Structure 1
Amino acid sequence: MKAILRTMGGWSQRAPTCCAVVMKHAVLWCAAMLFAALIPVVHAVAADTSLTPEASAAKMAAEHLMTAKIEWRGPSSSPKPLAGKRIAIVSCCEAADGAARASRAMVEAGKTLGWQVNVLDGRGDPQEQNKALNSAIDAKYDGIVLEFVDTTTVSDGVARALKAKIPLITLGTLRNTPDTIPDVSWDYAKHGEALANYMIWKSNGNVNALILLNTDLYVTRNGQWVGTKNVLTDPKKCKDCKVTVKEWPMANIDTQPGSIATAALQANPKINWGWCFDACMSRVSRALIASGLSSKMRGAGFDCNAESLQLIKDGQVEAVCAADPREWDAYAVIDNLNRLMQGQPTVNQGIPVRLFDKTNISTLSDYEMSHGWQGGYDFRAAYRKLWGMQK
């Protein structure tokens, strides 16, 4: 600045008033800009320091899953797909959008390969699921997918499929019996941990959570719920957290979760969070809205289906969801099933996960808002390239 002033001094004698005015305005402008720039910093620091140390740690953990970079971590090669295969998908319950999304995408992926893919709806009933599996075996399908179906509840059909040497693979079951049956999964416990951390962060450690735990899905009980429970029941992470668990069967998904949540909230107004997968949480949200209780509880879900994403955007009960790209999961199943049918081992498909709330939901495309998160990567093109079917 001194050098500039000296240079200006050469002509300032002719117009000292002008120079002084210009410099005065420049200094004032710089000061104003500096003050404006500091305002959000001051506010941010104030917001952070208002959190307990536990809530601050939870905030950091949750935000990581909201911003982590998405890259292709799937396979780098795949055997050339066999043409003309017939595949049966035994779905746990097509009324649940999380299952229906995967089913539709497997049909789509199969069509790309020239396969005939049929969906058999298990209707949320283990007996119906076992019946569907046995019918697929009787029809001599070339491969069978169990979608969110616990292998222990359909053990009769599983034994028949293995005896018939029909390639069998699961989607989203976490653990299979026998454990030689491959599964396509992602980090379920990480989903649960992220939701717990989000609740702690947003409630500053004062979480009173209603857990709506499905009795049929092994993966929910031993995946997401384990992750959430390990955080919420750890006094080092949340000394004041309270948890109430209510169980319900998949066959009652359309009515029971909503009625349980409504009754629980009326009996205990201190409940401030509800937790379950999105096909359940969307029904809970509808029930609470209809009962005039939508402002009394926030929802934490997982799957990030289209209805839940809209509820989050609109600020209607559900506040956050943990996402896996369900269509990506489906393509991964088809890729591994192709390997199985050619006598090759399955591979880790590197499926990503993400956390969405009202602050980052704007990063989703219109297509994702109506179909669910797609993973932030063109996985369809990646699989077509793997299969040698680039357009």
Structure 2
Amino acid sequence: MFLGFFSILIGPPAAAQEWHGPTTGPAAAPGKRIVVVAENMRNDGIGGIVADLNEAAGVLQWHIVTLDAAGDEARLADALRISVSGDVGDGTAADGVVLAGLDAVRGMPDYGDAAQERALPLVGWHVGPRPGPVPSTPVAINVTTDPAAVARLAAKAAITRSNGRAGVVILTDYRYAIAVSKARGMANSIKACGQCTLLELVDVPLADTATRMPVEIARLMQQYGGELTDILAINDLYFDDATAELQREGIAPDRISLISAGDGSPSALDRIQRGYYQTATVAEPLALQAWQLLDELNRLMARQPVSGFVADPIVVTRTDPAPAVADFRTIYRRIWQR
């Protein structure tokens, strides 16, 4: 639950956000079995969602089975096949499926028919380019903040920090529609800034950041030197593997700014608080989104439409505390009659 770190690392929270999510819905039936297909648990966002899904499942008296693909395409295919089958490993079938961090359009064609034949409720987190249903897939709702809003906020942070003179490199992963959407949004905002420069858009798969980022940071610093003032990325994970190389290159922490359009991981919040290269992250309210995912599944299992709720992203900097998230746990407990 990454937002729980804000009060420790960033300062006292501001007033709680106003709740604009659901307030009514079906009561929860106990004993449901939910399979979570996680693209890669090394990604702090996915790991956080899985942890918070388990918390919400405890309230619902549901059982979570997590299948971690660890960034491997073959393992992901196996996990998707298992999730929609009639046996998830112990002779029982899933009552619902949560997809976490994968690209549903690319990943589901071979398994969507099986899910639809079983009328299997299926929801996702960060599995498409925008919130809502994912076209051409059985995913009833993709739970995410608005990628366009996240991209604008991240780019604005770079523009403001640089007094409108940012020299920007953007890191993304072309395998995922949501990553491409964020990267294009950030690029468009930088291009619209009269005295800013978009130096390069770099494709680095999230699964390869440990090996690729040191090489890319060395190349970028050699190629652009002082022109490069800000590195924007679609996820904090890139910066977990970038800062050591910046230090080896002799780049002072206040010489270059790292800004993430996604997640708000514990390591990112720590870097921001210490002033260690990263200056901002546009965070997801992960715990809220996890509870929403199970609420959406509960609605589908009760043959009701999804709520369609879209939570607001949260910009975190060293000087600006994050607003407290509304008391969604109490609200969802009330809806579920738990």
Amino acid at match of 1:292: G
SS in 2 for 1:82: coil
Partner Cα distance (1:193, 1:95) in 2: 26
1:218–1:294 Cα change, 3 Å: farther
SS in 2 for 1:83: coil
Percent identity, please. 24
- CA apart distance, 1:153: 2.2
1:67–1:227 Cα change, 3 Å: farther
- CA apart distance, 1:351: 1.1
Per the alignment, residue 245 of structure 2 pairs with 287
- CA apart distance, 1:318: 0.5
Instruction: Say how many residue pairs are matched.
Output: 310
Contact 2:101 2:126 survives alignment (8 Å): yes
1:350–1:152 Cα change, 3 Å: closer
Find the partner of 1:94 among 19, 33, 41. Answer: 41
Contact 2:116 2:138 survives alignment (8 Å): no
- CA apart distance, 1:118: 1.3
- Deviation track 1:37-68 (CA, whole Å, cap 9, x = no partner) reads xxxxxxxxxxxxxxxxxxxxxxxxxxxxx989
Per the alignment, residue 190 of structure 1 pairs with 149
Find the partner of 1:246 among 189, 195, 202. Answer: 202
- CA apart distance, 1:127: 3.0
Per the alignment, residue 157 of structure 1 pairs with 111
1:292–1:160 Cα change, 3 Å: farther
RMSD in angstroms over aligned alpha carbons? 2.1
Per the alignment, residue 158 of structure 2 pairs with 199
Contact 2:283 2:315 survives alignment (8 Å): yes
Per the alignment, residue 20 of structure 2 pairs with 73
Partner Cα distance (2:273, 2:66) in 1: 32
Structure 1 unaligned segments of length 5 or more: list them. Answer: 1-65, 365-374
Find the partner of 1:385 among 323, 327, 334. Answer: 334
- CA apart distance, 1:349: 2.2
- Deviation track 1:80-111 (CA, whole Å, cap 9, x = no partner) reads 11111110010111001011000111111111
- CA apart distance, 1:350: 3.8
Mapping 1:324-363, distance limit 5 Å: 324-361=284-321
- CA apart distance, 1:69: 6.6
Contact 1:72 1:350 survives alignment (8 Å): no
1:299–1:86 Cα change, 3 Å: same
Per the alignment, residue 26 of structure 1 pairs with none
Mapping 1:1-391, distance limit 5 Å: 70-138=17-85, 139=87, 140-154=93-107, 155-175=109-129, 176-178=134-136, 181=139, 182-222=141-181, 224-234=182-192, 237-269=193-225, 270-276=227-233, 277-295=235-253, 296-301=255-260, 302-361=262-321, 375-389=324-338
Per the alignment, residue 58 of structure 1 pairs with none
Query: Greater Rg, structure 1 or structure 2?
Result: 1
SS in 2 for 1:233: helix
Partner Cα distance (1:179, 1:158) in 2: 6
SS in 2 for 1:255: helix
Structure 2 unaligned segments of length 5 or more: list them. Answer: 1-12, 88-92
Per the alignment, residue 9 of structure 2 pairs with none
Contact 2:166 2:195 survives alignment (8 Å): no
- CA apart distance, 1:78: 1.5
TM-score (norm 2): 0.86
SS in 1 for 2:111: helix
Partner Cα distance (2:198, 2:34) in 1: 45
Partner Cα distance (2:142, 2:315) in 1: 23
Per the alignment, residue 47 of structure 1 pairs with none
User: Relative contact order, CA 8 A, sep 6+: which one is greater?
Assistant: 2
Contact 1:211 1:275 survives alignment (8 Å): yes
| Structure (1/2) with the larger helix percentage | 1
Contact 2:127 2:142 survives alignment (8 Å): yes
Partner Cα distance (1:159, 1:261) in 2: 43
TM-score (norm 1): 0.74
- CA apart distance, 1:76: 1.1
Partner Cα distance (2:277, 2:38) in 1: 28
1:83–1:165 Cα change, 3 Å: same
